[in-house]
Amino acid sequence: MNWPNTITLSRLLGIPFLLYGLYIPTQGARWICLIIFLIAALTDWLDGYLARKLNQVTDLGKFLDPLVDKLLVLAPFLVFVELGKIPGWGVFIILARELAIAGWRVNQTTISGANIWGKLKTITQILSIALLIAPLPITWQIYAKSAFWLSVLLTVISGLIYLLPVLTPKDGN
């Protein structure tokens, strides 16, 4: 287990605290949750940076990193559905895409890293979660929900970009 993979797995440690804190309806708890979430999200950048810089990119890391990212994103989204902040069908679209891509990746002989669309999807998901967590004035809710719907749109686009070459016949038919 190298450092980048250890950092990837450390993101999992924040999820239980984040989930617990999201149910506490105080501004202090929300700020703590925001800090936990942003630190966990920043480790996503850190582990990738270190893996490339230290030449420690591994198939395990290529598998673990997106899996942990999915857990870090889906956990708060599911809480937001339960709390009535976002609709469940939007999260279902995100979950369906993630399961489809994960299933597709399992059947690949080599594991590829995320493309620019996958990275944009992740960034908008992180932004929308941060805005939904932060105890901001009610006028900011439009920005949080807009970021959420943008992340849903980019989730669909990035999923189609992954799957279209697989679904397109090779012989031109």
- Give the domain ranges of the chain: 3-167
pLDDT, block means (10 residues), the chain with 173 residues: 88 93 95 96 89 87 85 96 96 92 70 74 94 94 95 93 69 54
pLDDT of residue 91: 96
Question: Looking at domain 3-167, does it have CATH number 1.10.10.10?
Answer: no
Place of tokens 């999260």: 91
pLDDT of residue 132: 97
Structure tokens at 68: 């942990």
Per-residue CA distances from 135 to 38, 62, 83, 96 (Å): 14, 34, 14, 29
CB 30 within 8 A of CB 134: yes
By C-alpha distance, which of 126, 137, 134, 143 is closest to 45? 126
pLDDT of residue 98: 86
CB 147 within 8 A of CB 131: yes
CB 75 within 8 A of CB 18: yes
| Global confidence as pTM | 0.85
pLDDT of residue 74: 95
Distance CA 61, CA 3 (A): 10
Distance CA 123, CA 129 (A): 10
Distance CA 54, CA 150 (A): 34
Distance CA 112, CA 138 (A): 41
By C-alpha distance, which of 35, 16, 138, 149 is closest to 76? 16
CB 167 within 8 A of CB 64: no
